[in-house]
Amino acid sequence: MKKLFFIVLFSILSLPAYAVTLKIATVTPENSQWMKDMRASAKEVKERTEGRVQIKYYGGGIMGNDTKVLGRIRIGTLQGGAFTPVALADQYPELNLYGLPLIFNSIEEAAYVRERMDDKLQKGLEDAGFVSFGFASGGFAIVMSNTPIDELEDLKGKKVWVPEGDSVSYDSMAALSLSPVTLPLTDVLTGLQTGLIDIVAMSPIGALVLQWHTKVKYITELPLVYTMGFMAIDERAFKKISAADQAIVREVMEASYRNFDKANLDDNEGARDALINAGIESVPFEPAQHEAIRQVLERSNREIGKNGGFSPELYEEMLGYISEFRSQQAASATGYKSVAGAAEE
């Protein structure tokens, strides 16, 4: 009996002081490269904190949709999740800004804005009670459907998927005369299979990972929505970690999300090619129609901002950076033409 007592005592004394386990939910499928990378970062955190901080991932959506995950975080059975902006838009509406439809023309344009606004949005998220480690771009969500879409008229009346709780996208799609259908991410594949929805917008890599590409026939070359993801940990849980270990967690996870940010963009190029190779047909979208949709959405965006969908001031700041980038691009192009013309002379 005395021997058993000392074994138990030794085991307790051997445990790391102030050990904290962060249980994180994600829809990322098990055995995907994303999950492997996430588990690698968890292993590094455990090693560098000598076991005082451990991160346990629950992949494949087994903890339920965003609403269920947030409920579990509130009661403390989970400490965080890997989310898209819409999941936490109720807590911090400005997360909606980057994902407004047709707000960016290119990845380069989005990167220019993010260099100037990411820190501000990340601080706002932390002020709302969630610790984050940066945003990882998912590239542009493209329109995927079972009938070809190359103009605004083709969209009207179609049943389009809108993420659960995403009132901004709902209003934007309604402004384009689409019929929004709200579903959690975990139900979209079934929705496509049953005909509950006609259209989805998702990044190529996301469509492959989630297997949505098996239920559509066409992709429309329209950079509809800039997508991104991030990890958010309940601030109360994070504060249970010592300051020194918090710094280690931040260092490891911020590096991980910087890698995700770059790798996801590279992967999207290959994913789009994979979609085409799988037999999905690419449909070009009429440039004039693109501009017509943008004008409709710009009016809708301002109305959404007035109604509390996001800060009108931050929206205008973002538009200012976009205008700045486009002006620089135009000036560069003009300068190039001038030099080229002089060379020809």
The pLDDT tens digits for 90-114 are 899 999 999 998 899 889 999 999 9
What pLDDT shows up at residue 11?
47
Q: In total, how many domains does the chain have?
A: 1
**HSE of 112, CA atoms in CB hemisphere, 13 A:** 19
The H or E element containing residue 248 is: helix 243-277
185 vs 161: CA distance, rounded Å: 9
What pLDDT shows up at residue 294?
85
What pLDDT shows up at residue 103?
92
Q: How many residues does the chain have?
A: 345
Domain that holds residue 244: 9-307+325-337
Q: Is residue 147 part of a domain?
A: yes
Q: Is residue 294 part of a domain?
A: yes
Q: Is residue 4 part of a domain?
A: no
What pLDDT shows up at residue 5?
45
* Contact predicate 92/124, CB 8 Å: yes
Q: Is residue 153 part of a domain?
A: yes
What is the full DSSP assignment across 115-181?
HHHHHHHHHHHHHTTEEE---EEEEEEEEEESS---SHHHHTT-EEEEETT-HHHHHHHHHTT-EEE
Q: What residues in the chain have per-residue pLDDT under 50?
A: 4-16, 343
Strand partners, 226: 140
DSSP conformation class of 221: E
Q: Is residue 15 part of a domain?
A: yes
Q: Is residue 243 part of a domain?
A: yes
Q: Is residue 3 part of a domain?
A: no
Q: Is residue 149 part of a domain?
A: yes
* Contact predicate 135/97, CB 8 Å: no
Q: Please report, for residues 50, 84, 118, 261, the alpha-carbon distance to residue 88 in angstroms, rounded to integers and kept in the order given.
A: 32, 8, 16, 20
CATH of residue 269: 3.40.190.170
Both tokens assigned to 29: 């499928």
Residue 80: name the closest of 58, 111, 110, 52 by CA: 58
